[in-house]
Amino acid sequence: MATTLRAARQGPIEFAQEAWAELRKVTWPSRETVLRLTLIVLVISALIAAYIFAFDNLFTLVITKGVVGQPTATPVPGQ
């Protein structure tokens, strides 16, 4: 059993060579594709951030002005 484990192990140099060989097989996207998709991600992220910001402010306004800001019963002086 110990011999099969040793046979399955590889050194760091062999690992790096095999990893580099696999990376050569990858079809990398073009620069234009990377830039276009990055721009799409940034725009969508900004839109979602604006949406969350708007609704957070709306809910804050509704709660502070609509619920908390309602007139409350004031105690009568001298009681």
8 within a domain of the structure (yes/no): no
Share of the chain above pLDDT 90, in %: 58
Number of domains in the chain: 1
- As a whole number, the mean pLDDT across the chain is 85
Answer yes or no: is 42 within a domain: yes
Q: Rounded to a whole number, what is the distance in angstroms from the first to the last CA of the chain?
A: 90
For residue 45, what are the domain limits? 30-54
The structure's pTM equals: 0.57
Q: What is the pLDDT of residues 54-65, one digit of tens each?
A: 999 999 888 887
Amino acid symbol at 2:
A
**What's the pLDDT tens digit per position in 38-48?**
999 999 999 99
